Each structure stands twice: as C-alpha cells, then as structure tokens.
Amino acid sequence: MSEKIVVSQDQGVLRLMLNRPEKKNALDREMYCALIASLEAASGDAAVGAVVLAGAGGNFTAGNDLADFRDFAPGAETFPALAFVRAVAAFGKPLIAAATGVAVGIGTTLLFHCDLVYATRDTRFKMPFIDLALPPEGGASLLVPQRFGMSKAAEYLLLGDGFDGDEALRRGLVNALGATEEEVVERAMDAARRLAAKPREALLAARRLMRGDPKDVLARIDAEAAVFAQALASPAARERFAAFFAQRPQ
C-alpha cells in the first residue's frame, strides 16, 4: 500500500488518510490506485462497516495533481481518477469525509458521493475546472445542481467561485462543523463507528433505497470523462497548465 495513503482500521471503520501534506494532499495516480484498492478490499471485508476519508497536515486535498494530468494527456479517459470516482459512486457501504483546510476540484466533487461530511468553518471548497479550460468531473454536472439548485451550481461550477464551511452547511453539503481539524476527524470517526455498529443488512438496504440506482451517476461520470479527455489535450488547457506551472514556486 502506498505511503501516500495511510490505512487504519478500528471498530469496524476503515480510515483512509491522504498523506501528501507537502502538496496539500494533491492526488496523483499512485494515490488513486491505492484508494481504489482500499475501496475494493473494503467492499468484500465483512469487518468493515464504514469508510472515513481524511487528509493529513490540515488539508483534505488540493485536487488532482496537475503535473500528472499534464504528463498523461491525451489519454485522460484511462487516468486512474476516473476509475476512482466510479469506485466511489458504486461503493456500497457508508462513506464519511473529514474535510479541513482546502478541498479543491475532486476534493469537493468527491463529497457529493459521501453519506456524511464534516468540516470547519474555514474549510475552503472550490471547483475551478473551467478556469483550467476543463469541464467538471466526478458526476458534478449532475450532482451539484441536484444538491444546490441550478443558480448556485452555476456560481460554483461556471464562475468557479469558492465557498466556506458555513455555506457548505447551509447548502447541505456538510452535516456539521468542528472547531479544529482534530474535532472534525473525531466527529467523522464517531459517526462511522455508530454506522458500523448498526444492523448491517438494514443499514445497507436503507442506503441503497435512499440513493437509488447509481447508473445515472455512473453514466454522467463517463460522459464527463469523455469531454474531459478531449479538453485536456486542447490548446486552451495546455496554456492554462503552462501558466500554472510558470507561477508555481519550484
């Protein structure tokens, strides 16, 4: 298992800690593959009743590692990020997130697939896909309008405006706010332990009924990925990537 993903298990809860703090836990292909493997193992492990996603060093994740995308184009449809969001969308057990610091790109869109989300008031959520000349991913073009309504979805997806934990709580993306990173993680772990202790068959059946058939979400993820792959190889995206790396401290 990758050292960039720290895996621990206790009282029926599998915790997956993104552990690349020097990059604000930006997700590269190695991390995606490790996360996919962990979710696949958790699906078949009767001892796992719930999964918690968190980030080390005060941040959830700065999103996709753009260096990986830059170097991987134009075959983005085979990039592990797509397999990861499909795995998350199809995952059959409760997913809980502790989102502190920055939650950018997939760091925000991932949360729409979670059953429970905890954050701080100053957590910064942002989906800046279009500013990179890219379309949304992770089913966001479907799930964000469903959760937030079309006008707010336009504000956060088309304008690319960010929002904080208070706004996320008002909009129903976050369940509760904690004062510190430690409190947020403990709230997430406590909720996960409570879920893992409940009658398993009834819990999973209720979750399936609440969510409905995932085929629409999976179809939208695939449709977004096809457009994303084309956009990633476009001159506009290459120009935005070049500007990003030119400004980034070495």
| Residue 192 within any structural domain of the chain | no
| Residue 10 within any structural domain of the chain | yes
| Residue 120 within any structural domain of the chain | yes
| Residue 194 within any structural domain of the chain | no
| Residue 189 within any structural domain of the chain | no
| Four-CA torsion 162, 53, 169, 101, nearest 10 degrees | -40
SS3 per residue for the chain: CCCCEEEEEECCEEEEEECCHHHCCCECHHHHHHHHHHHHHHHCCCCCCEEEEEECCCCCECCECHHHHHHHCCCHHHCHHHHHHHHHHHCCCCEEEEECCEEECHHHHHHHHCCEEEEECCCEEECCCHHHCCCCCCCHHHHHHHHHCHHHHHHHHHCCCCECHHHHHHHCCCCEEECCHHHHHHHHHHHHHHHHCCCHHHHHHHHHHHHCCCHHHHHHHHHHHHHHHHHHCCHHHHHHHHHHHHHCCC
User: What does pTM read for this prediction?
Assistant: 0.93
| Residue 144 within any structural domain of the chain | yes
Domains of the chain: total: 1
Residues 6+ apart with CB under 8 A from 11: 193, 196, 197
Q: What is the pLDDT along the chain (250 residues), one digit of tens a residue?
A: 459 999 999 999 999 999 999 999 999 999 999 999 999 999 999 999 999 999 999 999 999 998 876 666 555 556 789 999 999 999 999 999 999 999 999 999 999 999 999 999 999 999 999 999 999 999 999 999 999 999 999 999 999 999 999 999 999 999 999 999 999 999 999 999 999 999 999 999 999 999 999 999 999 999 999 998 888 888 888 888 788 777 765 4
Q: Structural domain of residue 94, as residue ranges?
A: 5-180+200-247
| Residue 195 within any structural domain of the chain | no
Which CATH number do you get for residue 234?
Answer: 3.90.226.10
| Residue 31 within any structural domain of the chain | yes
CA distance 2 to 19: 9
- The pLDDT value recorded for residue 248 is 65
Strand-pairing partners, residue 54, are 17
